[in-house]
Amino acid sequence: MGGGPAGLYFALLMKLSDPGQDITVFERSAVHSTYGWGVTFEDDLIRKLYNSDPWSAKKIEQAASRWVNQFVDVEGKQVTEARGNGYSINRRHLLDILASRAQDLGVHIEFDHEVASLAQLPEVDLIVACDGVNSRIRNEAGSFQTKVRLDSHKYIWLGTDKVFESFTYAFVRTGCDWLWAYAYGTDARSSTFIVECSAETWKGLGFDAMPLQDSLSLLEKLFERHLDGHRLIGQNRNGTNVRWLNFRTVTNHRWYDGKIVLTGDSAHTTHFSIGSGTKLAIEDAATLAESLQHHGNLELALQSYERQRQAALLQPQNEARYSVRWFEDISRYIDLESHQFATLLFLRRSPLLPHLSPQLYYRFHQATEEVAFLRELRRRVAPKAKAIHDRRKPNIAER
C-alpha cells in the first residue's frame, strides 16, 4: 500500500528473493507523479543499496547529485563553509528507478489506484502499509497505538531553478524575527528550497492570509541574495500546489498486527532537519524483506522486523528531537560569532547542548577536539546525559 521508496524497494527485494511470489503495489498517484522535490542521503545508504540490489543501487548513484561542503549564511554578514558531502536526488527520479526495477522483476504496480479501506483488498498473506504519515491502513486498523506530535514551527517545501552546489543554511532577519531555509541541488536544473519559521513569524509576516503566489513573491524577496534572481516553484510534480505545514512526528508502539505491517512514514517520522526520512524508509524495507526471507513463520518474521527497526530508530528519533529544539531555541545562538554559530548548528543533535550556555558548550567542544582524553570523555558522557534527560522528560510523542 503506497508506491514510495519503502513500498517499491520492499517489493523488488521480495521478488529478487523469490520470483514466484505474487506482489502488487497500489499507488494512488498517477505514473511519474509525486510530491516534493529532492531527498538527501549519505554514503552509508549507497553501500547498503549495493549490498541489497546492485542494479538499482548503480542507477540511483548515477542519477544522484553529489553536493560538497555545507554553507551557513546569516544575513550575508556571516558566511561559514564547513566540510561535508552527501547525495541528493529528484524524488520522482528515485521512484521511477525503483518502479522500473520492480516491474522488470515481475511486481505488479497499479498507479492511480486509491484504496480507501481494507475491505477493498483481496485475500492476501501480508499487507505492507507504506501509505505515509496519514496512513489509512494504519488508522483503520487502529491497533498500533499511534501517537502524533505536531511541531509548532511552520515550513513549506519548495523548488527553485537555481542549482545549489553545496548544502546551504540561509538565515534571514525580518521585522517579525527569523526565517531560515535549507537549500540543496536536486538535479542539473533545480534545487530543493525548504523554508521554516516560528508560527509567530509566519503569522506576523501575513503568510496565514496570503495566496500561494503572494507567499512565493515575498519569500523570493526575503531570500533574494541567496536565490540570485531565480524563482521559487510552489507546484509539485503531480500538479498540486504546496502549502505551509506543521511537521508531524509519528510514532507507533506496535509496528505490526496480524498480517498488517507498517513501514516508512506510516511507522515513524523524523524531522527533515536531520535528512534521514528516505534512508530510514529504505532500511525498513530491507529489514522487513530480510526478516521474511530468514524466518519461515510470519509472526516470528514480523516480531524480528519490529524489534530491529524500533531499536534502530532510537538514535535518529533522539537526534531529530534535539535538532528541532535547536531551531525552536534559535534566539540562544543567532547572535554568536559566525564560526561559533555554525559549529553549534552542526552540533545541534547533542543532548548536552540545551543544558549548557552556547559559549560554554562551544569552548567545551573546542577543548575536546584538541585533547584526546577530553574527546573520549565527551563521547562517554553524552549518552549518559541523554539517558538522564530522557528519564526526566516524556516521550516526544507525548509532549
CATH at 57: 3.50.50.60
pLDDT (average), residues 168-191 = 94
Sequence-separated (6 or more) residues with CB below 8 Å from residue 229: none
378 within some domain? yes
Q: Are residues 357 and 287 in the same domain?
A: no
**CB of 283 within 8 A of CB of 312?**
yes
Q: Are residues 45 and 95 in the same domain?
A: yes
Residue 362: give the domain boundaries: 350-398
232 within some domain? no
Q: Are residues 310 and 378 in the same domain?
A: no
pTM metric for this prediction: 0.88
* Percentage of the chain exceeding pLDDT 90: 76
Q: pLDDT confidence of 238, banded at 50, 70, 90?
A: low
120 within some domain? yes
Using DSSP bridges, classify how beta strands 248-252 and 78-90 pair: parallel, antiparallel or unpaired.
unpaired
286 within some domain? yes
Q: Are residues 355 and 315 in the same domain?
A: no
> Cell 509576516 maps to which residue?
205
Q: Are residues 361 and 257 in the same domain?
A: no
Half-sphere exposure of 175 (CA within 13 A, CB side): 4
Q: Are residues 25 and 98 in the same domain?
A: yes
Q: Are residues 264 and 390 in the same domain?
A: no
pLDDT (average), residues 372-390 = 52
Q: Are residues 18 and 123 in the same domain?
A: yes
225 within some domain? no
pLDDT (average), residues 266-289 = 95
203 within some domain? no
Could you write out the DSSP letters of every residue in 98-157?
A: HHHHHHHTT-EEETT-----GGGSPP-S-EEE---TT-HHHHHH--S-EEEEE-SSEEEE
Q: pLDDT confidence of 377, banded at 50, 70, 90?
A: low
Q: Are residues 59 and 96 in the same domain?
A: yes
Q: Are residues 284 and 387 in the same domain?
A: no
Q: Which of 274, 307, 322 is the last residue of a domain?
A: 322
CA distance linking residue 102 with residue 108, whole number of Å:
8
126 within some domain? yes
pLDDT (average), residues 220-233 = 95
Q: pLDDT confidence of 208, banded at 50, 70, 90?
A: very high
pLDDT (average), residues 371-394 = 51
In the chain, the N- to C-terminal Cα span, in Å, equals 30
380 within some domain? yes
Helix axes 277-294, 298-328, angle to 10 degrees: 170
Our count of domains for the chain comes to 2
Q: Are residues 274 and 393 in the same domain?
A: no
Mean confidence (pLDDT) of the chain: 89
By mean pLDDT, which of 179-183, 297-301, 390-394 is the weakest? 390-394
Q: Are residues 273 and 386 in the same domain?
A: no
